[in-house]
Amino acid sequence: MDAAEKLLIAFFVLSAFIALVFFIVARSTRLPVQPQAEASRFGYAIRGRWFIFLLLGLLGTFLASLPFFPYMRTASALQPALRVPVEAWQFLFIMPDHFPVNQRIIFEVKTPDVTHGFGIYAPDGQLLAQTQAMPDYVNYLDVTFHTSGRYFVRCLEFCGMGHPIMQKEITVGEAATASGRSSLAALDSNGVVTHE
């Protein structure tokens, strides 16, 4: 099962649970009418528990999610990584088009014109990672590609009429093409693009 399916199933299960509650309550209107005071007593008893359950659930999920935040810590920024500058322009990406597999890469995403998005799509079509490209700012995206193959970079922030065609194919790993290899070679050890 891929990540998209898991996500959809989680969403459907939660929604179905809510829909079931709504259905049961709706059906109850066929039962003999209950005085409001009685219905409320019953309801308040459930409500207290529902509150505690939901509060703990939300706080627990919040804590559990913290290790998966994508923001780079200073300490981890200092660890060795291939630094790759990316420039997003209306409507293209200026960046190398071939990358090594299992190598930590820090994309330094910039733009000279308007706000863009920088989204990397894996060979199976899943959206792997993204950040924004905003004028006057640099967004650092920390990515390690674990599988080789053809990836796509797509713009994920509306940037004008060419927004939907703003994409670039990149390759990771052995599948390197001749042009791909040369563009990787063009990156010196500091990640600065040296134009030959």
Tokens of 3: 């990540």
The number of angstroms, rounded, from the C-alpha of 159 to the middle of its chain's C-alpha atoms is 19
**92, 101, 105, 114: residue in contact with other proteins (rule CB under 8 A):** 114
Measured distance CA(88)–CA(39) in Å, rounded: 59
> Binds 189, which of other proteins, Cu ion, none (CB < 5 to 8 A, cut-off by type)?
none
Which residues are within 8 A (CB) of 64 and not within 5 positions of it... i.e. 6 or more apart?
none
Nearest one of 3, 1, 35 to 125, comparing CA atoms: 3
Beta carbon nearer to other proteins, 33 or 178: 33
Q: How far is the CB of 69 from other proteins (least distance, A)?
A: 5
Stretch that binds other proteins, among 7-15, 92-100, 168-176, 182-190 (CB under 8 A): 7-15
Query: Of the candidates 79, 164, 70, 75, which has an alpha carbon nearest to the alpha carbon of residue 116?
Result: 164
80 lines the binding site for other proteins (CB under 8 A): no
- Kindly state the smallest distance separating residue 109's Cβ from Cu ion, in Å: 13
Tokens at 8, concatenated: 């959809």
Out of 101, 127, 184, 193, the only residue in the binding site for other proteins (CB under 8 A) is: 127
Asked if residues 192 and 101 have their Cβ atoms less than 8 Å apart, the reply is no
Q: Which of residues 93, 106, 145, 163 is near other proteins by CB under 8 A? A: 163
Closest separation in Å from C-beta 166 to Cu ion: 5
Verify binding: residue 132, other proteins, rule CB under 8 A: yes
